Amino acid sequence: MKKWINHPKVEGKASRQAHCDLPEDTYERELGKEGFFGPASHMYHRHPPTGWSDFEGPLHPRAFDTTKIETESPSPWDASELMHNASTRIRSWTCSGRMDALARNSDGDELLFVHDGAGDLYCDYGHLRFRDGDYIVLPRGTMWRIASDAPVRLLLIEATGSSYMLPDKGLVGPHAIFDPAMLDTPAINDAFRAQQGEDEWKVVVKRRNRLSTITYPFNPLDAVGWKGDLAPVRINWRDIRPLMSHRYHLPPSAHSTFVANRFVICTFVPRPFESDPGALKVPFFHNNDDYDELIFYHAGNFFSRDNIHPGMMTLHPCGFTHGPHPKALKHAFQAKAKATEEVAVMIDTRDALDVTGAAEAIEWTGYVDSWKG
């Protein structure tokens, strides 16, 4: 048995309620365990905790612009790998339209986030239409391909050696944020049957990050039916109904969408700002010392960042304080609009992410200096 060392105390000038009614002329910083689920303390500082004048070393915050990746390919195995650790691989892929072979990931479940474009996905289980903003979860071993009349830009997130699951929604119950009934699955329909045939098809399988090719004298997507409780699922960010509190700024963990081994995926979607005069309207400064934080910006204007446009990614390694950009601080208690407008995908990993050369080639190296007040 083990138990956290727990002894709540108050020292000096402090707010009794986190993220609300801060002492005058102070900036709040949260130090916590287990992301936002474990014990935490809140410091109240005279200066912004990100008000550094210089930052040297590999821990600095970083930003990457995936819109600068110009390569198109019919295969997801040609995607630009940007970051990875033992639990996940994160890739940016522009599908040239129609895949000329089937893909199968035998290293773990694959999550496709459609950043731009629309089309059809064919897999073992049938046919699925997709559009921008869709999450598509493909269980490990699923054979699949994309067919589209125009290029499709996707973020690929592999759950290496594990599976995607839904988060425990606790007190709000399983139907909050999105009802599981909103998850769409592929259909054995006319479009699926029409693509079947006796033409030769290849399946390119990834295992231990190496590729093998299996050739069939027919299309192996030839199912006539299936049953069970394992299947690809799709949900669009437009179907997510975020948790909100008009009197309290909720932590990012309240916006969890999928969980896997040693990382979690959250979705930020438009929502009203907090209306209580004493409640923070921007993310609170926090250390998040148990996770690396990677955010992919899909659409809109991310209210707590500056000079970030759709298609960019930011990486905040654990070990330093981060929070709202300096320009966002002036709106900490007075929102500049009635609601947020950003859509973003956040990947929080328990283990440090390794940044690849492909990511460094599209890095905005001035991002760390943009935090200077």
Ordered by start, the domain boundaries in the chain are 27-64+243-371, 72-237
Q: Are the C-beta atoms of 243 and 250 separated by less than 8 Å?
A: yes
Residues 219-225, mean pLDDT to the nearest whole number: 98
d(CA 300, CA 304): 12
Residue 1's pLDDT is what? 83
Give residue-wise pLDDT tens across range 53-98.
999 999 999 999 999 999 999 999 999 999 999 999 999 999 999 9
Per-residue DSSP letters for 327-373? Answer: HHHTTSSS-SSSB---EEEEEEESSPPEEPHHHHTTEETTTGGGG--
Q: Residue 14 carries which side chain, given as an amino acid letter?
A: A
Contacts of 3 (CB under 8 A, 6+ apart): none
Residue 367 pLDDT level (bands cut at 50, 70, 90): very high
In the predicted model, what is the mean pLDDT of the chain? 94
Q: What is the pLDDT of residues 177-208, one digit of tens each?
A: 999 999 999 999 999 999 999 999 999 999 99
Q: Which two tokens stand for residue 163?
A: 């599976």
pLDDT value at residue 109: 98
Q: Are 117 and 148 in contact (CB under 8 A)?
A: yes
Q: Is 27-64+243-371 a domain of CATH 2.60.120.10?
A: yes
Which residue positions form the known binding site for Fe cation?
286, 292, 322
Q: What whole-number distance in Å separates Cα of residue 203 and Cα of residue 205? A: 6
Spatial separation of the C-alpha atoms in residues 169 and 106, rounded to whole Å: 29
List of long-range contacts for 187-191, beta carbons under 8 Å, 24+ apart: 187/126, 187/127, 187/128, 188/125, 188/126, 188/127, 188/223, 188/224, 188/225, 188/226, 189/126, 189/127, 191/120, 191/127
Rounded to whole angstroms, the Cα distance separating 179 from 47 reads: 42
Q: Which two tokens stand for residue 196?
A: 């079947």
Count the neighbouring beta carbons within 10 Å of the beta carbon of residue 7. Answer: 6
Q: Which pair of tokens denotes residue 66?
A: 């995936």
Helix, strand, coil percentages, rounded to 5, for the chain: 10, 35, 55
Its pTM stands at: 0.96
Which CATH class, in words, describes the domain spanning 72-237? mainly beta
The pLDDT score that the predictor gives to residue 47 is 93
Confidence check: pLDDT of 306 > 80: no
Answer yes or no: same fold for 27-64+243-371 and 72-237. yes
Percent of the chain beyond pLDDT 90? 82
Give the pair of three-digit tokens for residue 292.
Answer: 């690396």
Q: Using 50, 70 and 90 to split pLDDT, how confident is the model at 305?
A: confident
**For 360, left (φ over 0), alpha (ψ -120 to 50), or beta?**
alpha
Tell me if residue 249 is catalytic: yes
- Mean pLDDT computed over 222-236: 98
pLDDT digits (tens, 9 = 90+) for 25-62: 999 999 988 888 888 999 999 999 988 899 999 999 99
pLDDT tens figures, 126-172:
999 999 999 999 999 999 999 999 999 999 999 999 999 999 999 99
Q: Which two tokens stand for residue 349?
A: 């990993």
| Res. 244: pLDDT tops 90 | yes
Q: What is the CA radius of gyration of the chain?
A: 22
Output the CA angle 143-146-150, nearest 5 degrees.
Answer: 170
Whole-Å CA distances, 73 to 79, 119, 267 = 8, 16, 27
- Amino acid (one-letter) located at 339: A
Token duo for residue 326: 């300096």
C-beta atoms surrounding 235 within 10 Å: 20
Q: Which of 42, 115, 127, 249 is catalytic?
A: 249
Residue 291 has pLDDT above 70, yes or no: yes
At position 291, the amino acid (one-letter code) is Y
Q: Taking CA 339 as the corner, what is the angle to CA 338 and CA 345, rounded to the nearest 5 degrees?
A: 165
In the predicted structure, residue 357 carries a pLDDT above the cut 90: yes
The pLDDT of residue 311 is: 97
Two tokens, residue 230: 């394992």
Q: Which residues are annotated as a binding site?
A: 286, 292, 322
Known binding-site residues for homogentisate equal 322
Percent of the chain topping pLDDT 70: 100
Report the distance separating Cα 29 and Cα 322, nearest Å. 9
d(CA 356, CA 65): 14
pLDDT for 373: 64
What is the arrangement of strands in the sheet containing 256-260, beginning at the earlier edge strand? 256-260, 263-268, 343-349, 292-299, 312-316, 62-65, 363-364
